[in-house]
Structure 1
Amino acid sequence: MRFYSYDYVLSQISSSNWVLGGIILVILVAVAVVSFQYYYRKKDSKYRELFIILIIGLMLSILIGISQFQTNQASNSQYQTSLHFIEVVSNELDVDKTDVYVNTSAETDGAIVKVGNQFYRAISGSDPDTYLLEKMDLYKADVELVEVEK
């Protein structure tokens, strides 16, 4: 059973995708260059066709970027919830948050929490900041602690 550290969950929160932004910027520059070429050489249809292809590529890249942004936002929201859960548990048990490990990096209800040699099952309450921690013993558990790779 894998248990994830606070720093590992924090590292899973993705930043914006700069590669896709760079591709969009390159396509924008290409559209500008081709549009100037098309304006000055109106009889040459290759620039018009290239302009149309680049505009379609630009629209496709922007739509892909929007889709990735929405996916990343949903994923980041789950990881933020897990981070908050670890912080609440560490405050409740009066331990450092780096000593708290959870067996899931996204869901919190029903998660198993490892603090030192103790294991707890978390049951969420009516308030997002309240959890019932039920002490439990794991038998023949293969515990693997996942830390951030440096």
Structure 2
Amino acid sequence: MTFYSYNYLKGGQTNWGIVRIAIIALLAVAFLIFLIKYFRNKWDLKYRDLTIILATLLLLAAAIQYSDLTNMHTASVQSGQLTVIIEKSAKKLGVQPESIAINDTSRNTDMLIKTPEGYYQLIFNGSGSEFLLSKVNLYEPDITVVGE
């Protein structure tokens, strides 16, 4: 079972794709260069074809980057919700949030937290605004904590 530490959730799970942004920038520069060459040499069709190919690649790369950006935003919001849950759990248990790990990166109904005192199950109310901590004993736990 994999648990994720408070610091891991606070710092974010994904790396920002600087390489992808650099590729998009290079494609945009190449597109502009071939577009200018095409307008200067209207009878040379190779520049038109290269401009169309680069425009297609640029749009594809931008769409992929936008999709990844929205996924990263969703993951960031979910991590923010989990850090609030960890902070509330730490306050209820009287421990530091940094000593708590949670078993999922998105909020669901079967969540466990790992504390120095043991393992607890989070039982949410109907609206999901509050939760109950119930101590549990795991049978032969194979625990990995990400972010420690």
Which category describes the TM-score, using the shorter chain as reference length? 0.7 to 0.9
**Runs (5+) with no aligned partner, structure 1:** none
Deviation, 1:129, is 5.0
Deviation, 1:143, is 4.3
* Matched residues, number: 148
Taking the aligned partners of 1:129 and 1:87, their CA distance within structure 2 comes to 14
1:144 aligns with 2:146: no
The answer on whether the counterparts of 1:8 and 1:146 sit within 8 Å (CA) in structure 2 is no
Taking the aligned partners of 2:53 and 2:114, their CA distance within structure 1 comes to 55
In the other structure, the counterpart of 2:16 is 16
- How large is the RMSD of aligned CA atoms in angstroms? 2.1
Taking the aligned partners of 2:140 and 2:117, their CA distance within structure 1 comes to 12
In the other structure, the counterpart of 1:90 is 90
Which residues of 2 match residues 48-63 of structure 1 at below 5 A?
48-63=48-63
Runs of 4+ residues over 6 Å off in structure 1: none
In the other structure, the counterpart of 1:73 is 73
The answer on whether the counterparts of 1:101 and 1:115 sit within 8 Å (CA) in structure 2 is yes
Taking the aligned partners of 1:23 and 1:2, their CA distance within structure 2 comes to 34
Taking structure 1 as the reference length, the TM-score comes to 0.84
Counterpart residue identity of residue 136, structure 2: M
The answer on whether the counterparts of 1:108 and 1:124 sit within 8 Å (CA) in structure 2 is no
Q: 1:3 to 1:55 in 2, by over 3 A?
A: closer
Aligned-residue sequence identity (percent) comes to 27
Taking structure 2 as the reference length, the TM-score comes to 0.85
